[in-house]
Amino acid sequence: MEVNMMEKARQTIKWNQWPELAKTGFFVLLIIGVTLGAFGLFTIGMGTSTPLVVVTSESMSPTLERGHLLVLQKQAPVDIEVDDIIVFNALWHLEAPVVHRVTEREYIDGEYRYTTQGDNNAVPDHPYTVYEDIIGVVVSAIPYIGYITLTLQEPGVLPLVILVLIVIIILPEFIPKKDAESSKTENEETPVDNDAPNV
């Protein structure tokens, strides 16, 4: 049943008539679409628009090292407790969100205030952090994977990767054509003796 439906779909869009480059592009777009869709569902499930963050400094060493990929989850203000590791935006560090541990929690003037500090830092962060600045609480950390992102952020690396991918996608489109043209040329150069006797 599924095979018949797939074959019918292929016939409807005239799949066999598509050039190889168009087929490759279609699959690339399909993979991108599925990935973005899955990531969208993941963000909804974790309750934050930024559920994945890469550690970019040594301020949380040895608990979290540079290159760790962090999985974040949004939690209610009252559920964020002392010793939780949170990711938050800070005016004193605009380059990227900060990943530090909560060392103190206070409820003052109707809001929770969180004092944070890096495990590898000698002094706490100043000033305190409020709930509106918190992106999420770290629920999981995966080492080394974040180095992929850090490497792509290096100058000139991302354009090079894109160029290589384009070459990989486009190059096979021309190689078969070249072989076919060579075979056609060889066939044209080979004379056919119509007067040869049949055996």
Active site residues: 59, 100, 125
Which of 43, 42, 44, 66 has its CA nearest to residue 55? 66
Report yes or no: 141 and 70 within 8 Å, Cβ to Cβ.
yes
Find the farthest-apart pair of alpha carbons in the chain and give their distance in angstroms, rounded: 108
Rg over alpha carbons for the chain, rounded to the nearest Å, is 29
Give the integer Cα–Cα distance in Å for 57 and 72. 18
Report yes or no: 135 and 48 within 8 Å, Cβ to Cβ.
yes
- The total number of residues shown for the chain amounts to 199
Q: Could you write out the DSSP letters of every residue in 46-108?
A: HTSS--EEE--SSTTTTTS-TTPEEEEE---GGG--TT-EEEEEETTEEEEEEEEEEEEEEEE
Report yes or no: 112 and 105 within 8 Å, Cβ to Cβ.
yes
